[in-house]
């Protein structure tokens, strides 16, 4: 990070040691977001890139234990992670695949943005995680999602070239988790970054095969390493001439141009709310085969 950010790296390290401010994403399937925000028992303020997001002045455990959480009025979610579904921007009637969906924050956000009026195929390869995903889909009152537990290749065989939008929030080395999880810091290794980058390339290639002509693919991670972010997207673009990067406009996000991918977005924990995320959106050519 010192090589990549220079003196600014010290601000990043300080942010990773600072307390986290919890955030919730209000669920429009449970009521008008403005009314739900007024009903929160804590002071709150807006998340810049997510109209339904609120930063709350409370402890995370208190927010998680409130009956409003059990009722699906909100989803306790890192504010940086809220940027991902906003980048997908699903519309009513669209077929959307969330390829690595557990525990369900992004799936339920996608369904809410589409007014619960599309179809979200919400997938996780781990059955235990898929069941937790299903629980969150049910808790938030989503009726437009189907939860699957399948390898990406199986979904591609069934839905290849048919999807309006595909989201791959890829498994990663989790540097964005360092602030909330000492275990994530201890588990990090240089070899793990390379291993995740290899897995991400395989998954993003499968994700691209799902996208219909004119459709979009959003790739994201909660890590900072360019090998798992910009390099993966550039690898895909070099192999898929029918895809092109579509610039993102997320208020408060930083452009990834210094890391070789102008138009992609980085959310840094020392610059904006949340623990950090990388997001890139690609569009498949409308005249693709």
What would the pLDDT profile of 216-253 be if each residue is shown by its tens digit?
Answer: 999 999 999 999 999 999 999 999 999 999 999 999 99
- pLDDT per residue over 23-47, tens digit each? 999 999 999 999 999 999 999 999 9
Spatial contact of 77 and 23, defined as CB atoms under 8 Å apart: yes
**Per-residue pLDDT at 204 exceeds 90:** yes
pLDDT higher than threshold 90 for residue 279: yes
How far lies 11's CA from each of 65, 76, 184, 246, 258, in Å? 32, 26, 20, 29, 17
Percent of the chain past pLDDT 70, that is, above it, reads: 100
Cβ partners under 8 Å of residue 45, min gap 6: 54, 55
Q: Give catalytic status of residue 163 as yes or no.
A: no
Q: Under 8 Å CB-to-CB from 23, ≥6 apart: which residues?
A: 47, 53, 54, 55, 56, 76, 77, 78, 79, 82, 273, 274
Q: What's residue 258's pLDDT? A: 95
For residues 87-109, average pLDDT: 98
Q: Does pLDDT of 74 surpass 90? A: yes
Which residues touch 79 (CB under 8 Å, ≥6 apart)? 23, 47, 50, 53, 55, 272, 273, 274
Q: What pLDDT score was predicted for residue 89?
A: 98
Cβ(170)–Cβ(114) under 8 Å?
no
Over residues 53-77, the mean pLDDT reads 97
Percent of the chain exceeding pLDDT 90 equals 98
pLDDT at 196: 98
CB atoms < 10 A from the CB of 111, how many?
30
Is it the case that residue 289 has pLDDT exceeding 90? no
Q: Can you read off the two tokens belonging to residue 160?
A: 């290849």
Question: Among the options 50, 163, 172, 222, which is catalytic?
Answer: 222
pLDDT one-digit tens code per residue, 160-200: 999 999 999 999 999 999 998 899 999 999 999 999 999 99
Pairing of strands 50-56, 119-123: unpaired
- pLDDT for 35: 96
The average pLDDT across 70-88 equals: 98
């Amino acid at each position: 990070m010192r090589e990549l950010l220079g003196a600014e790296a010290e601000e990043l390290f300080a942010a990773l040691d600072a307390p986290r401010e919890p955030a919730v994403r209000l669920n429009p399937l449970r009521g008008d977001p403005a009314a739900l925000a007024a009903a929160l028992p804590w002071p709150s303020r807006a998340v810049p890139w997510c109209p339904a997001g609120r930063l709350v002045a409370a402890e995370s455990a208190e927010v998680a234990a409130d009956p409003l959480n059990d009722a699906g009025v909100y989803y306790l979610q890192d504010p940086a992670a809220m940027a991902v579904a906003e980048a997908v921007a699903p519309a009513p009637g669209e077929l959307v695949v969330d390829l690595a969906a557990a525990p369900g924050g992004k799936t339920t956000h996608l369904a809410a943005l589409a007014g619960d009026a599309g179809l979200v195929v919400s997938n996780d390869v781990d059955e235990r995680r898929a069941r937790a995903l299903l629980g969150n889909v049910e808790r938030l009152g989503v009726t437009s999602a189907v939860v699957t537990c399948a390898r990406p290749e199986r979904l591609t065989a069934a839905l290849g070239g048919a999807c309006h939008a595909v989201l791959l929030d890829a498994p990663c080395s989790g540097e964005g988790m360092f602030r909330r999880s000492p275990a994530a810091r201890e588990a990090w290794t240089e070899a793990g970054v390379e291993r995740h980058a290899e897995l991400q390339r395989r998954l993003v290639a499968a994700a691209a095969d799902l996208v219909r002509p004119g459709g979009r693919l959003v790739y994201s991670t909660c890590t900072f390493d360019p090998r798992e972010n910009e390099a993966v997207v550039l690898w895909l673009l070099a192999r898929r001439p029918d895809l092109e990067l579509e610039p993102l406009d997320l208020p408060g996000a930083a452009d990834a141009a210094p890391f070789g991918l102008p138009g992609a977005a980085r959310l840094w924990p020392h610059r904006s709310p949340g623990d950090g995320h990388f997001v890139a959106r690609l569009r498949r050519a409308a005249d693709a085969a």
